[in-house]
Every structure is written in C-alpha cells, then in structure tokens.
Amino acid sequence: MTGARMRVGVSARGVEVDDGMGGVVAPWADVDRVTAFALDAVARVARYVSFDLVDGHSVEVDDAAPEWGEVVAALPEHVELAVEDLPVALDALAPGERLVVAAPVRAR
C-alpha cells in the first residue's frame, strides 16, 4: 500500500503494528529487547524506540509519530524497564547515543 503509514502500539499482548489493512502482534515473548536511540535530523534531534525481535527484525516508532506519547506512556505498564524515568531518559538522548530500555524483555 503506497503512502500508508504503519501505526505501532503496545499492549498486554505485545507490540502491535497496523498498516491500515490489518494488524499483526509480536508477543512480548518474541521481543528480545527494547532500545532507544537518537539521530541528528538537521532541524531537530529525532528519537526512536526500537522493539528488537528474536528473529532479527525490529519495529521502530519515532517521536514525530502520533502514537509516540501513547507508546512511551504504556511501556512501563507492560515491561520491566531498565531506566527509572523513561520520558526523561528519552529526552536526554543525544544523536548517536543508544539506550537499553528493557533487556531482556519481561512482560508484566
């Protein structure tokens, strides 16, 4: 589907990806770790949360996505975090830095 934007969410079931034509769920058991990183996007610093799957693939959501706030707020409800305050840790990321948010992932 050209021009379609995938929407990423988290729930008790796992990481949910919906492309507008149907969704898939990666159960928490299939998520190896959750990381965050930042890139220099010329006019701003772009921050990402990446769900790294056991099969080597990853699902990423960036801070410009409409669901960013929902994902960041919901993560502590579903996984044990390796950081105390996720929003503060994400805001502090500088370009080139990577942060382990949860590893190994243990669902709550």
Phi–psi pair at 72, nearest 5 degrees: -65, -40
Residues linked to residue 98 through DSSP beta bridges, in sequence order? 37
- Could you read off the pLDDT of 79-108 as tens digits, one per residue? 999 999 999 999 999 999 999 999 878 777
Percent with pLDDT over 70 in the chain: 96
Residues linked to residue 27 through DSSP beta bridges, in sequence order? 14
Whole-angstrom distance, CA of residue 72 vs CA of residue 90: 9
pLDDT of residue 100: 96
- Could you read off the pLDDT of 13-38 as tens digits, one per residue? 999 999 888 788 999 999 999 999 99
pTM above the 0.75 mark? yes
